[in-house]
Amino acid sequence: MYLKVMDIHDIVEKYAPSMLKESYDNVGLMVGDMECRVTSMLVSLDCTLKVIEEAKQNNCNLIFTHHPLLFKKPDSITTDSLVGEKIIKLIENHINVYSCHTNLDSAEGGINDMIVELLGLDSDDIIEPMKTENRAEFKDGIGRISQLKEPIILSELCSRVKRCLEIPSVRYAGNEFKLIKKVAVVNGSGQSYFNEARLQGADCIITGDTTYHHVSDFEEQGMAVIDAGHFGTEWPAMKKVAVFLQNEIKSLGFENSVILSKVNRDPYKFK
């Protein structure tokens, strides 16, 4: 009995079912064969050319990513495009790619909750709850709201975010002495949830990929913003996802190894 890609799919569907994905998203098997026997698995945030080479060098024929390789159906698959080049390299090297994106963000115990836990906060409420068939008892949805047991000033919260997520710097908006009592957390790109977080009483939102005018408007409305970056608010959770997958595989009686990527990096550099 061998571990197959389908077994990984089954693990994901139980933990973060595809029904939880956002309407614009694409999740599941991007490239490959569900019946393919898995050698080892490489966990990464993105499927980059360097990650594909890393998988090849480590004898991994399955790459598990958060960000989908294919958001939409390509018009063609050629080396004239980066996505086409990746797909061709994957097929040539018999490497499967499986992506678990907004379904993993939304699921109870998923990336949103992992980041909240890493920050030493509680997931008290959900910014945009999602109720689906057969998961009525789960607290699924995008974004988390945490009522702080002890209020903290914004500058100290910035320091906590850097320390807990192991990132060199953050961008923030708001008076550094502003007292924060309720925090909203949205991993990745979360500024479209700013207004709902504000309406739910959040003093501060921790997210990534914010833009000038959006942050400026909400600062005027009294909300502090900590932008810890897209990579910074997701990569720490992917480390936990790798451990989870390894434990699940072992619980099924398989010994296949799960390797965390060493080459997937934040494209931004900081001085």
Helix (H, G, I), strand (E, B) or coil at 207: strand
What is the pLDDT at residue 270? 83
185 pLDDT exceeds 90?
yes
Considering the domain 108-227, what is its CATH architecture? 3-Layer(aba) Sandwich (3.40)
Q: How sure is the predictor about 1, in pLDDT bands with cuts at 50, 70 and 90?
A: confident
74 pLDDT exceeds 90?
no
CA 42 to chain centre: 16
What is the pLDDT at residue 133? 82
Domains 5-104 and 108-227 share a fold: yes
Supply angle C-alpha 84, 43, 246, rounded to 5: 145
Give the residue ranges of DSSP H helices in 131-253. 154-165, 194-199, 212-220, 235-251
Total H helices, total E strands in the chain: 9, 11
| Residue ranges covered by each domain of the chain | 5-104, 108-227
Among candidates 138, 130, 134, 86, which has minimal Cα distance to 108? 138
**Which amino acid is present at 101?**
H
Indicate the pTM of the whole model.
Answer: 0.96
Share of the chain above pLDDT 90, in %: 94
Among candidates 203, 229, 15, 175, which has minimal Cα distance to 109? 15
Considering the domain 5-104, what is its CATH architecture? 3-Layer(aba) Sandwich (3.40)
Check residue 192 and report its DSSP letter: G
Among candidates 167, 159, 187, 119, which has minimal Cα distance to 269? 167
Spatial separation of the C-alpha atoms in residues 201 and 213, rounded to whole Å: 21
Contact present, 196 and 144 (Cβ < 8 Å): no
